[in-house]
Structure 1
């Protein structure tokens, strides 16, 4: 990683991230759970999170390879149980 940062929008709020961050890095930062290459938590727990970049859902298995770019809009949503 580099020391340069870019600004993206996360759930409607501007956020600075390291320039070569991936979606997996961002989800790890937001959830506090390190992720394996396939997007699952390394500790085997459930994540319950979905992510979209510029309105397009990104499959969990693609998070590690999805590099973020300046100006992108990222939505991170959490599954909620109830009725």
Structure 2
């Protein structure tokens, strides 16, 4: 069986992922805590309730920013 991949860019780094992978799947796979990140998807900030609805395509660009609390 031949699985085809998309090449996407996460924080500037190339990453190969399955053509059926959603944004949510990718973020979980990479170990991000969904409640403490902000995601820019192709230069648009995405609400976390939309992560599962976005299927990644070749050449997509993601910037993932982790929110850190402190004091």
Alignment TM class, shorter chain as reference: 0.7 to 0.9
Segments of structure 1 that go 5 or more residues without pairing to the other structure are: 34-39, 41-46
By relative contact order (CA 8 Å, sep 6+), the higher-ranking structure is: 2
More strand by share: 2
| C-alpha RMSD over aligned residues | 2.0
Unaligned 5+ segments in structure 2 are: none
Query: TM-score by structure 2 length?
Result: 0.85
Which structure shows the higher helix fraction?
2
Query: Runs ≥4 in structure 1, deviation > 3 angstroms?
Result: none
The normalised TM-score by structure 1 is 0.74
